Structure 1
Amino acid sequence: MKKYLALILVGILVLGLVACNNNAASNEPKETNKSSENTAETKVASGTSKLAMIKESGKLVMGTDANYPPFDFHKMIDGKDQIVGFDILLGEAIAEDLGVELEIQDMQFAAVLAAMETGILDVGIGAISKTEERAKTMDFSDIYFESSHSILVKKDDVGKYSNPEKLSAEKARVGVQTATIQEEAVSDIEGIEIVSITSVPDLVSQLKSGYIDAMLLENTVADMYAAANDDLAPDHSGEFPGESGIAVAIPKGNEDLVAEINKTIQKLKAEGKIEEFYQKGIELSITD
């Protein structure tokens, strides 16, 4: 009887040891899986680093709407159509500091903003105002240029549409570029008709033909289009609402790229290059 009891006890002990060993094995970390997860995380991290991708590709892809002198515009130089201007010089300086080449993608302004949200471009540089609403879907550099709005009209209409109150009183047809802060600035003016389209040159044509009464543009841009059209004139006497600090737009979540761009902007400001680039853009705009 004792012999049978001893055998039973031995069996129970063996089963207990097996169970303990199985539990211990199940609680041990799976080194192979953990290593795979770390590798995957590293790949994701490197894949989402815009700065790393820029340096690896050797180019900075910049989106802009090249119909906005003196910031970005087309000009024939030595028989070739080139995109030049204030913002192009800034883009070149940023690319140089990153040790890469600058590639310019010319597109509608609204498409530049959309490309920042999707991340298909590296940066957007093109008189882009830094606003709280835009900052929800894209990052921005430090402001590199302070701007304001001005009305562009036919010469005979200078003073007639110079501020929101006059636009409202005249029940004016006001042209603005789609997705700009100028579009926002006129959105609450009562009594006016807003004509919003993607192309600034098309708006200028509509102004010259009389289809619209006035355009709201960035201050210097109004000056440049007036300089190129003898029948038009800017009107700087009025005030319009809206944030006007211009900055470089960057796809969301690229703090390292933002930091590098800010270094370049601060260096250019200290050297007086920002003002130099601005004046060069004006010079290129008004000379043949």
Structure 2
Amino acid sequence: MKNSKQLMLMFAMIMMIGILAACGTSNNDDSASNKESANGDGKKVLMMGTSADYPPFEYVETAKSDDIIGFDIDVARAITEKLGYEFKVKDIDFNGLVPSLENGTVDFVLSGMSPTADRKKTVDFSDIYYKSNHMIVTKADGEIKDVKDLNGATVGVQLASIQEGIAKDLKKDGIDLTIENRNRIPDIVQEIKAGRFDAAIIEDTVAKGYLADNSDLAGYVIDGKTKTEEAGSAIAFQKDSELTEKFNTELKKMMENGEMEKLILKWFSGETAK
């Protein structure tokens, strides 16, 4: 009888261990969106991917804190709050953002990204939430002042960016330029200042921040249209994500009620943000 009780007790313990193991397995989901709120308020946490080298869209003001701030961060905060989510930000090199969406490391990308046809093959996009132009950045005492002056020049662009596509379009159109890419915008600016790049193509809003802080640099807006489609920024999601429609609904409301305009004025008026 005693042995029988011991066997029953051992069997019960084995069953309990199995149940606990199964529970642990069922909660161990690699999807970024399954993370519990650190505040214990029951809200689902969404992981946002961004490349925090792109002021005033997303950047770190190191003199004040290590937090990532900027226009895109405020847009993400506004939308996720309205939808009842919390969000966290993961800093990733720009060329790694789409792969991070594909493998589930992040739930959405807000990083001044343009919805090109090539990107649409693997991820979905929201509506455009911000439009801008592009600028040639070069040394102030240089001879480059227009696209035609890029002939024979070494031009820096951010890896996997729409500006890289613009540079390739110019090359196809007969401008004999050498394209050099880097992961981060500050690296590109330093290459110009060091004389290793003759110029760079950078989004104008971002470029103006660097021009304000570097009197030895000059910028010239690129006139005319390029072959690169849909210039402007949109939010990227995994294919067929339910978040796309939800975010689009809130974006539309923000456009209509003036909330988006307020954020644009906050970050872009006077071009003082960097």
Shorter-chain TM-score bucket reads 0.7 to 0.9
Whole-angstrom distance in 2 between the partners of 1:54 and 1:145: 31
5+ residue gaps, structure 1, are 1-46
Partner of 1:235: 220
Whole-angstrom distance in 2 between the partners of 1:61 and 1:264: 18
Contact 1:70 1:278 in 2 (8 A): no
More helix by share: 1
Question: Is 1:177 aligned with 2:158?
Answer: yes
Contact 1:178 1:197 in 2 (8 A): yes
Question: Is 1:275 aligned with 2:258?
Answer: no
Contact 1:197 1:203 in 2 (8 A): yes
5+ residue gaps, structure 2, are 1-28
Contact 2:211 2:217 in 1 (8 A): yes
Change (3 A) 1:155 1:253: same
Q: Please give the TM-score of this superposition, normalised by the length of structure 2.
A: 0.78
One of 92, 101, 121 as aligned partner of 1:136? 121
Whole-angstrom distance in 1 between the partners of 2:107 and 2:233: 17
Say which SS state the counterpart of residue 214 (structure 2) adopts.
coil
Whole-angstrom distance in 2 between the partners of 1:50 and 1:167: 43
Contact 2:34 2:45 in 1 (8 A): no
Say which SS state the counterpart of residue 144 (structure 1) adopts.
coil
Contact 2:46 2:88 in 1 (8 A): yes
Question: Is 1:127 aligned with 2:112?
Answer: yes
Question: Is 1:208 aligned with 2:189?
Answer: no
Q: How far off its partner does 1:141 sit?
A: 0.6
Contact 1:66 1:74 in 2 (8 A): yes
Whole-angstrom distance in 2 between the partners of 1:234 and 1:81: 29
Q: Please give the TM-score of this superposition, normalised by the length of structure 1.
A: 0.75
Whole-angstrom distance in 1 between the partners of 2:260 and 2:188: 29
Partner of 1:62: 48
Contact 1:109 1:179 in 2 (8 A): yes
Contact 2:192 2:199 in 1 (8 A): yes
- Divergent runs of 4+, >4 A: 47-57
- Alignment of structure 1 residues 1-288 onto 2, 5 Å: 58-76=44-62, 79-157=64-142, 160-163=144-147, 165-168=148-151, 171-188=152-169, 189=171, 190-239=175-224, 241=226, 242-243=228-229, 244-254=231-241, 256-282=242-268, 286=272
Equivalences, count: 237
Q: Which has the larger radius of gyration?
A: 1
Say which SS state the counterpart of residue 105 (structure 2) adopts.
coil
* Identity score, percent: 35
